[in-house]
Amino acid sequence: MAEVSLAQQERRTLSDLLVELGPEAPTLCEGWSTADMAAHLVVRERRPDSGPGLVLPSLAAYTDRVRNAARESTPYTDLIARVRSGPPMLLRPFDGAMNTVEFFIHVEDLRRGQDGWEPRAISPLISRLRMRPSEKLDVEWDFDLDTGAKKFTSNNMLVDLHEGNYFSGLSYARLNAPGRFYTEGVTSSVSNFSQLRFLLGYGGPLKPGLGVAVNMGLDLRSEVNNSGLVQYGALQTSYNWNCCGLSVEVRKYELGAVRNETVERFNFTLVNIGTAGNLRRAESLF
């Protein structure tokens, strides 16, 4: 079964709304009824000669005449059927690029033009961008955009720098997802924090000799949250010989009522045999 694209999903939603509202319902597009909207969607995909008027004011009158002619000469139900059937064959490879944003906006134009409308419960826009400008530098930007609330619910930036045996990292993490009543009628849990994280170290998990690393997390909303500035910190040291290696870590948590403790971890590794201890790879600073 072929995967349904977001453009196709929005096309179906748009077509269903046009059927539900009928030809005379208002929209957010000034001066347009639902019949005008349906005619616009048909003309946009099937009359390329009218396309320049969508962006060039000097040609807008011609585009309006073509749209009005389509609205007057074609029954409303036929306009909807053409919208629902998809773009002409030559344009189908470009359906996603042409129509994802267009149809999303026009769905909202129809919905928000009606009395008593409510925001849709829809999935967030998720982006993950990773770059390596050089062999020594890694950059990452991750964000989740709540398209219903029109805001970033999470926004994370990370920079890692490494030179020889030295390495460092700086990251910023922002989570802003307070309770929302419009999502399926259920209030989500409140999460709102802003954190700055540092990492500095020398050595590595497999490099011979001494290794030292330290990290720290700072609460940038400590005054609002009535908490301490430093949320956690860790120090890890290791030493690797040809036959084996030993790592010891001390980590301190200062998260108020959530977690407030000091944790000691270690592991001892024998080459070609295995590792013993409670310092897991995911928790290591190296």
Which residues, including other chains, have CB under 8 Å from residue 164's CB and lie 6 or more apart? none
- Looking at residue 7, its pLDDT comes to 85
Tell me, yes or no, if the pTM score tops 0.75: no
For residue 11, count CB atoms less than 10 angstroms from its CB and return exposed for 0-12, middle for 13-18, buried for 19 or more: buried
- Looking at residue 226, its pLDDT comes to 60
- Looking at residue 123, its pLDDT comes to 66
Run of H or E residues at 215: strand 209-219
- Looking at residue 190, its pLDDT comes to 44
Q: Three-class SS of residue 150? A: coil
- Residue 99: what are its φ and ψ, rounded to 5°? -120, -15
What is the residue type of 60? A
Q: Three-class SS of residue 72? A: helix
SS3 content of the chain, % helix, strand, coil (to 5): 35, 35, 30
- Are the beta carbons of 251 and 233 closer than 8 angstroms? yes
- Joined together, the tokens standing for residue 46 give 């099937």
Which parts of the chain have pLDDT scores under 70?
Answer: 1-3, 121-123, 147-150, 177-191, 222-228
- Looking at residue 254, its pLDDT comes to 86
- Residue 6: what are its φ and ψ, rounded to 5°? -65, -35
228-272 residue pLDDT tens: 688 899 999 999 999 999 999 999 988 777 778 999 999 999 998
User: Which ranges constitute the DSSP H helices of 86-191?
Assistant: 95-112
Helices 34-46, 76-85: axis angle to 10 degrees equals: 50
Q: Three-class SS of residue 34? A: helix
CA triple 132-134-138, angle to 5 deg:
40
What is the residue type of 194? S
User: Which ranges constitute the DSSP H helices of 121-270?
Assistant: 222-225
- Residue 133: what are its φ and ψ, rounded to 5°? -60, -30
User: Residue written as tokens 């939603």?
Assistant: 13
- Looking at residue 182, its pLDDT comes to 39
Q: Which long-range contacts (CB under 8 A, 24 or more apart) does 221-225 make?
A: 221/192, 221/193, 221/194, 225/193
